[in-house]
Amino acid sequence: MPELPEVETIRRDLAEELSGRTIEAVRVHQPDIVLPPPGPAAFVDRVSGRRIDSLDRRAKYLLLRLLGDELVQVQLRMTGRFALGTSLPDPAEFTHLAAEFDLDDGRTLFYDDTRRLGGFRLLSSADWASIEAKLGPEPLEEGFTAAVLAAALTDRHAPVKNVLLDQRRVAGLGNIYAAEALFASRLDPRRAAGSLCAEEVERLHDAIRATLLDALEHAGTTFSDYLAVNGRSGRFQDRLQVYGREGSPCLRCGEPIVRIVQAGRSTCFCPGCQH
DNA sequence: CTTGTACCCTGACCGC
DNA sequence: TGCGGTCAGGGTACAA
């Protein structure tokens, strides 16, 4: 379940190792993880021999920028994982190998994806620009002010939790950190997004940033599937305040945490102190 | 335009 | 011990 902190952790793990390296060969074992266009065979053909200029992240996408006007967009979705080395470091953790990228330093970048919901896409800069333009602001960048968040929420009748998950409104939040940020700001996830007053938006803004920064410092959350590069676990799961705590007492007021379903996703919150 | 729902996929888990 | 049903959720497609 990689969200912004998990994808950013992976980007940091890989950036120094991959920048400047040439991809000498590509093997795709699970064709459905390559999203067309161009299709798996053409993907292999067009990525082989290319040099990686740099690694970026936008929302939950990892971007391998290639020399020449193209990039590989990676979506990990639920179970995508990377390993880097001359062989798989922990074969027990990589039992659904989906693709391999041989590098010019003798190492291979392994991609494993149990459920194959994730995948790769080769995009031109122009195609990426049109996708990128539809994404909301990056919550950890300077430009993400309380006013920017207010603009994303205003006039929305949908529950604030749903709006936080909408990547067109705010980029990078997923189910775990949306729930955590709402708990930290003491806001009921069922509230209509547009009903938040300025002070509440400010609280939510501060909570989103603080939660994501804290998670990033702890290399993300390993709840069930996520692992950073080479099987490294995150440590933020020990710091979760509400996510996955249904029935347990609220760490702030002692009321039992409840779980509801919003937009087909579970939301954990405390009815005692989130209003 | 907004909002809600189904779907993709596998493995873990639960009740019987 | 096995077996069917449910759930996990990111992103997208599509319907209302």
Contact positions of strand B to protein Cβ (< 7 A)? 2-11
Q: Is A38 a catalytic residue?
A: no
Q: Is A11 a catalytic residue?
A: no
Whole-angstrom Cα distance, residue A206 to residue A180? 12
CATH 3.20.190.10 fits A4-132, yes or no: yes
Whether the model clears a pTM of 0.85, i.e. scores above it, the answer is yes
Class of residue A84 by CB neighbours under 10 A (exposed 0-12, middle 13-18, buried 19+): middle
The full set of domain ranges for chain A reads 4-132, 146-269
| Whether A59 contacts A49, CB under 8 Å | no
- Which pLDDT does position A94 carry in this prediction? 86
- Which pLDDT does position A230 carry in this prediction? 76
Whole-angstrom Cα distance, residue A243 to residue A180? 7
Which residue, chain included where needed, has tokens 């609280």? Answer: A203
Q: Is A265 a catalytic residue?
A: yes
Express as a percent the part of chain A with pLDDT over 90: 65
Q: What is the mean pLDDT of residues A122-130?
A: 90
Q: What is the mean pLDDT of residues A86-109?
A: 90
Using 50, 70 and 90 to split pLDDT, how confident is the model at A1? Answer: low
Q: What is the pLDDT of residues A32-80, one digit of tens each?
A: 899 877 788 899 999 999 999 999 999 999 999 999 889 999 999 888 9
Q: Is the pLDDT of residue A226 over 90?
A: no
Q: What is the mean pLDDT of residues A221-245?
A: 80
Among candidate residues A58, A60, A65, A169, the one labeled active-site is: A60
Express as a percent the part of chain A with pLDDT over 70: 99
For A75, the token pair is: 């979506």
Residues 132-151 of A with CB under 7 A from strand C: none
CATH 1.10.8.50 fits A146-269, yes or no: yes
Q: What is the mean pLDDT of chain A?
A: 90
Which nt sits closest to A177, CA to C1'? C9
CA of A98 to C1' of B15 (A): 34
Whole-angstrom Cα distance, residue A74 to residue A62? 5
Nearest protein residue to nucleotide B9 (CA to C1' distance) is A115
Q: Is A60 a catalytic residue?
A: yes
Q: Is the pLDDT of residue A90 over 90?
A: no
Q: Is the pLDDT of residue A163 over 90?
A: yes
Whole-angstrom Cα distance, residue A242 to residue A180? 6
- Which pLDDT does position A72 carry in this prediction? 94
For A205, the token pair is: 């803004």
Contact positions of strand C to protein Cβ (< 7 A)? 7-12
Which nt sits closest to A3, CA to C1'? C10
